[in-house]
């Protein structure tokens, strides 16, 4: 398994940052590599999600299970991706001086040498760009600082699908 960690500090309350990451069906609105995301089932704090991703020439549809632990963390596990297996552990902690430290720890293993050769070099950048996209989305929704009231999302929940 390979490991990648990306983190940032955002000037918003933990619950706001948690809610942003937990809004999986909005991912296609601001994550370039996510073509579609749909929650197929809910059971309390457990979500089953179907996603379609695009990274360079590859497209993949896979299913994940996300366990929400508001406002501290989200664990995402995928074992059926045609590209390989992965887990994302999102954590949300109070940052010294205010705001929230957002951290994403991703472990992954590619199924084939071809996928490793194609994606291995770009995956780190994709993961960093994901965290940057969450920063930009937070500014769009919540303004430039924690003192501002949040704005309404650009689209209603469930309407966040982007064709490919």
Q: Is residue 158 part of a domain?
A: no
Structural domain contains residue 160: no
First to last CA, the chain: 30
Total domains present in the chain: 1
Among the residue ranges 37-41, 72-76, 89-93, 112-116, the one predicted with the least confidence is 112-116
In a domain, 162, yes or no: no
Q: What is the pLDDT of residue 119?
A: 65
How many helices (DSSP H) and strands (DSSP E) are in the chain? Answer: 3, 7
Task: Report pLDDT for 118.
Answer: 64
- 133 falls within a domain: yes
Evaluate whether residue 119 is within a structural domain.
yes
Determine contact, residues 38/25, Cβ cutoff 8 Å: yes
74: part of which helix (H) or strand (E)? strand 73-78
Whether residue 148 lies inside any domain: the answer is: no
Count Cβ atoms below 10 Å from residue 153 Cβ, excluding itself: 16
Domain assignment of residue 44, given as a range:
2-142
On whether residue 163 sits in a domain, the answer given is: no
What's the full length of the chain, in residues? 164
Residue 41 has pLDDT above 50, yes or no: yes
- In tens, the pLDDT along 14-28 reads 999 999 999 999 999
Any idea what the CATH number is for the domain that residue 111 is in?
3.30.530.20
- pLDDT band at 121, cuts 50/70/90? low
Residues 134-163 have a mean pLDDT of 61
Nearest CA-CA partner of 78 in 59, 102, 60, 54: 60
Q: Is pLDDT larger for residue 72 or for residue 106?
A: 72
């Amino acid at each position: 398994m390979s490991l990648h960690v990306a983190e940032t500090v955002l000037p918003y309350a933990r619950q706001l940052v948690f809610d942003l990451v937990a809004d999986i069906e909005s991912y296609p609105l601001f994550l370039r590599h996510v073509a579609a995301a749909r929650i197929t089932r809910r059971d309390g704090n457990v979500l089953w999600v179907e996603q379609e991703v695009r990274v360079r020439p590859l497209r993949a549809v896979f299913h994940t299970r996300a366990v929400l632990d508001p406002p501290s963390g989200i664990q995402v596990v995928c074992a059926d991706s045609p590209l390989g297996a992965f887990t994302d552990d999102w954590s949300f902690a109070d940052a010294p001086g205010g705001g929230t430290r957002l951290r994403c720890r991703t472990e992954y293993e590619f199924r084939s040498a071809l996928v490793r050769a194609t994606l291995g070099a770009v995956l780190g950048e994709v993961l960093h760009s994901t965290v940057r996209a969450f920063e930009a989305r937070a500014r769009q929704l919540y303004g430039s600082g924690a003192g501002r009231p949040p704005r309404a999302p650009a689209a209603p929940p469930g309407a966040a699908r982007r064709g490919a």
